[in-house]
Amino acid sequence: MKNSIPNQFLYDVVNQQENQFQQAKSDKQWSKLLFSGSNLWMDTGDFDAASELWTNEFSALTTNNTLLNAEVQKGVYDHIITTIGKQLNGLNQDEKVDEVAFCLNAIHGLRLAKTFNCKVSVELHTNYAHNSEMTYQVGKRLFELCKEQFIIKVPFTAAGLIGARKLHDEGVPVNMTLCFSVRQNVLASMIAKPAYSNVFVGRVGAYFANNGFNTAGHIGEMVTTEAQKCLRKVNERGYANTKLIAASIRSANQINDLAGTDVLTIPVGVVKDFNKLGLKGEPSIEMPSGALIKQLNLKHLWQVNDQERGVAVKLSTKVPANQDILVEQFHKYGCHDIFPELSNRELVQIKEDGKIPQHNKWSGRIENFEIGIDTLLNRAGLFAFIKDQAALDARIVNYL
């Protein structure tokens, strides 16, 4: 980007902050969980919260647009916004906001990496979610600031798949986020080949709980365990080398049920709960009722059909240059409900519903295989991030 802030300035800002390395101790319960095979990440950008709970068993922190916005709104970076703004001559307002937002993301990530001596998963500005070239350019720029510790978060979109694949091809570790099903994770791993992909465990469960489906069982946990099995098969067959993250964990019980998943990324509230309860032993995952599975075509959440396998294999060798061609390939293989055409009215509806869509407004399209529940959750999650990114950008404007 023209007139972008030099890396040395960002390093200097970080070195001027209080970033003293946090000495940590080991914890018996977290150590026991490590022996299950799970890597442990803490899901927060809050220095005080992480410092209180950090142990040697944790190896990474993960942030996103929402978590970064929460830190920026505390006012701790207001003076930095002003300082950066004075250096951005020759840029229009939107360009200035994008550049300052990049710098805040970079500075906060660098501070976390230095303070906790760990890897940090940092998410790109939501402006790039549907722009594969900017995903690639900005993702690469962010990674090069801290190659040993940064992992670049990219959302599961058509453009995100293309941008993430370009990043992978240049050795940039990607965390493909906003996945809610086995098929999304398999498609992400084979097409984009990220280092990590996700199932948002708690949000899958919340969709059914919030919409009054009392026979959904532990559907988020079930989807996650099946995604783990499938990703390991994908890796064994040489299509990728992707680890699964169990994200959006809501309870200590879910940690117990998902022990052994490649990565558990855990919010601070759940870390506190687990500190009290510890591991309980064998997992207990209840399947949804057969009637609900049939009614809502739920198998699309934990199975990959022949058409989805076909498009994954096709695109694993060569990814199209732009998202329109990629979506055409999905539709050509009959996978219409993953990247469906949505009207402006429907997009507004998803945005207004918040993180959890209202099922009764989509039931007909779901039951007719026109849109998947995983697709709805993906779009809703992205809109939630866009809302928080807009709040962050508004604060930047106030201090420019």
Q: What is the pLDDT of residue 310?
A: 97
Burial profile 47-69: b = 16 or more Cβ within 10 angstroms, e = fewer: bebbeebbbebbebbbbbbbbbb
- Distances, alpha carbon 362 to alpha carbons 142, 342, 367, 380, in Å: 38, 12, 9, 13
Domains identified in the chain and CATH numbers: 24-399 (3.20.20.70)
- Positions of the chain with pLDDT lower than 70, given as ranges: 1-2, 18-23
Q: What is the pLDDT of residue 23?
A: 67
Q: What is the pLDDT of residue 280?
A: 82
Q: What is the pLDDT of residue 1?
A: 55
CA distance 336 to 370: 6
Under a CB-based contact definition with an 8 Å cutoff, are residues 14 and 120 in contact? no
Q: What is the pLDDT of residue 269?
A: 97
Residues annotated as catalytic are 153
Q: What is the pLDDT of residue 24?
A: 79
Condensed to tens digits (0 to 9), the pLDDT of residues 372-388 reads: 999 999 999 999 999 99
Q: What is the chain's mean pLDDT, rounded?
A: 95
Q: What is the pLDDT of residue 283?
A: 82
Q: Report if pTM > 0.85.
A: yes
Q: What is the pLDDT of residue 19?
A: 60
Could you say which DSSP state residue 359 is in? G
Q: What is the pLDDT of residue 358?
A: 97
